[in-house]
Amino acid sequence: MKRINRRLDYNETGRHIINDVTETYSYKYFKEQKGDHVKVTHLTSYQICDVYTDKNTNIPAYLKLNGDRAAYKMVFDHNGKRLSYKNSKIVANTVNANANFNCHGLTFLDRMFWLELDNDILETILKDDDYKQCSLDGLKEGGVALYFKKSGNIHHSGRIMNGNLISKFGINDTVTIGEPQLRKYYKKNVDLSLTRYYNP
């Protein structure tokens, strides 16, 4: 992506969005919990910004807003019933979330933005930034790994950083290191036969 003095070039649009991400957590968080999991809906406020490819194609990305009111968690039990305020606080304080960036924001945008990546935007980035397809063993520093659903739609991505394939697991504050660990988290969501690797 286009950089000025090694920093991503972007413009603030003044437009805002609330991003809605729901995650399932399979842990016992409180004594009265009956099911084996809870669901947490993360509501996060962002400013929509324009970032740019090397050929100056603008792509929308989300820059997280600061402050306590910019993020909110709603917690539900295994049946989809919203938890009491007390139990919601217990879960919310236990779940480690990082809404500043998602996996694609790590892969392409220096962990500065949340990037809603679809196949069209992906192909624009790969073409404009002159990525070259390679094998997993051929990945070099800055190279990217792209994982797709059976439908062929992009689902997850990672990047070679300091010699390791690094990716981020959803909105959680969890970073995977290496493809075996990455596949452990996403084995049910991706068709590994569609995986593609590129070097910049």
Q: What is the pLDDT of residues 72-95, one digit of tens each?
A: 999 999 999 999 999 999 999 999
With bands split at pLDDT 50, 70 and 90, how would you rate the model's confidence at 185? confident
Q: Which residues pair with 22 in a beta bridge?
A: 41
DSSP element (H, E) containing 105: helix 103-108
For 87, other C-beta atoms within 10 Å of its C-beta total 18
Query: Does residue 156 lie within any of the structural domains?
Result: yes
Share of the chain above pLDDT 70, in %: 100
3-state secondary structure of 31: coil
With bands split at pLDDT 50, 70 and 90, how would you rate the model's confidence at 40? very high
Judgement on whether residues 121 and 72 belong to the same structural domain of the protein: no
C-alpha span between 71 and 10 (Å, rounded): 23
Judgement on whether residues 85 and 127 belong to the same structural domain of the protein: no
Query: Does residue 193 lie within any of the structural domains?
Result: yes
**Alpha-helix runs per DSSP H in 18-168:** 85-94, 103-108, 119-128
Judgement on whether residues 89 and 121 belong to the same structural domain of the protein: no
Interacting residues of 107 by C-beta distance below 8 A, sequence separation 6+: 144, 157, 158, 159, 167
Last-in-domain residue among 62, 94, 126: 94
Query: Does residue 100 lie within any of the structural domains?
Result: no
Among 49-58, 164-173, 179-188, name the one with the lowest average pLDDT: 179-188
What was the pLDDT predicted at 69?
84
> What is the arithmetic mean of pLDDT over 27-45?
93
Place of tokens 């404009």: 128
Q: Which residues pair with 3 in a beta bridge?
A: 8
Q: For the chain, what is the domain count?
A: 2
Q: What is the pLDDT of residues 117-135, one digit of tens each?
A: 999 999 999 999 999 999 9
With bands split at pLDDT 50, 70 and 90, how would you rate the model's confidence at 173? confident
Query: Does residue 102 lie within any of the structural domains?
Result: no
Do residues 139 and 165 touch, judged by C-beta distance below 8 A? yes
Query: Does residue 181 lie within any of the structural domains?
Result: yes
What was the pLDDT predicted at 182?
85
Place of tokens 């139990």: 87
Whether the model pTM is above 0.85: yes
Judgement on whether residues 85 and 7 belong to the same structural domain of the protein: yes
Among 16-20, 43-47, 163-167, 181-185, name the one with the lowest average pLDDT: 181-185
Judgement on whether residues 122 and 183 belong to the same structural domain of the protein: yes
Residues of the domain holding 74: 3-94
What's phi and psi for 190, nearest 5 deg?
-125, 155
Q: Which residues of 47-56 are buried (b: 16+ CB within 10 A; e: fewer)?
A: bebebbbeee
Tell me the one-letter amino acid at 74.
M
Q: What average pLDDT does the structure give for the chain?
A: 94
In this predicted structure, the answer to whether residue 68 has a pLDDT above a threshold of 80 is no
Do residues 55 and 117 touch, judged by C-beta distance below 8 A? no
What was the pLDDT predicted at 189?
86
Judgement on whether residues 134 and 182 belong to the same structural domain of the protein: yes
Place of tokens 């002159």: 130
Judgement on whether residues 154 and 86 belong to the same structural domain of the protein: no
Query: Does residue 35 lie within any of the structural domains?
Result: yes
